[in-house]
Amino acid sequence: MAAKAPDWLSRNPPALQKITGKRVGIIGLGGLGSNITMMLARAGVTSFRLVDFDTVSIENLNRQHYFLHHLGQKKTLALAAQLRELTPSLTLELLDQRIEEHDLEDFCRGCDVLVEAVDDAATKAMLFSWFVRHSPSLWLVTASGLGSLGPANEIRTVRLAERIVACGDFVTSSEGQNGVCAPRVMVAAAHQALAVLRILTGMEP
C-alpha cells in the first residue's frame, strides 16, 4: 500500500499530483543541489537518487541547506536526514562518491530528470558532453553563472536543446572577488527546481 501523502501537499498546485512516483537524479548536493532537493520534496517528488562525495564544512553554511550540527557529516546523509524529517516515506538512493563519466549510465537509469548541480567546471563540461553524446530519454537541468550580487532578475531559465534546460546568468562566476551568496544561489536553485517540476508535469513540450 502506498504511503499517504502529507496533508500539506494539498496546498500545492493540482498539476503536481502527476509527479508521484517520478524519480529525480541530482548530481551535487551543495548550494544548488541541497536546496533543489528540499524544494522538490516539498513539491511532492517522492523518489530521489542523490550523489555527492563531500562532507559538510563551515564554509558551506552561507548558501547550502545544512546547519552547524551537520558539520563533518557526509552531505548525502545530512540531506537525507532533513528529507526524512519532512517526508519519512521518501525513496532515497544515496551515493557517497565523486561522479565519473563511466558512472553516468547507471546513475541515470530509471530517472525521469537529471539535475546537474556541481560547482566544478570540468565536471559540468563532462556531464554536459556525455548527455549530448548519449542523448538519453530523460531531461537534463543544468546551471551556470551564480556569483556576485547581481540583480535576481539576471538569473533566468533557457531551453538549450530538445531535452536540456539551463538556469543562471551564464556569465558571472564565483571566482575572485565575486564570491557566492545564498540569495543568488537559491534563486538559481528555484529556477532549476521549477524547471524539473514543469518537465515532470508535462508542461515543457
Q: Which of 2-11, 61-70, 129-138, 154-163 has the lowest mean pLDDT?
A: 2-11
Checking if the pLDDT of 1 tops 60, the result is: no
Q: How far apart are CA 177 and CA 197, in angstroms?
A: 34
Checking if the pLDDT of 15 tops 70, the result is: yes
Q: How confident is residue 156, by pLDDT bands cut at 50, 70 and 90?
A: very high
Q: For 156, how many CA atoms within 13 A lie in the half-sphere containing its CB? A: 8
Is the distance from CB of 200 to CB of 20 less than 8 angstroms? Answer: no
Average pLDDT, the chain: 94
Give pLDDT, residue 3. Answer: 57
Q: How far apart are CA 161 and CA 114, in angstroms?
A: 14
Domain ranges, ordered by start, for the chain: 19-200
Q: CATH says 19-200 is which class?
A: alpha beta
pTM listed for this prediction:
0.95
Q: What DSSP state is assigned to residue 12?
A: S
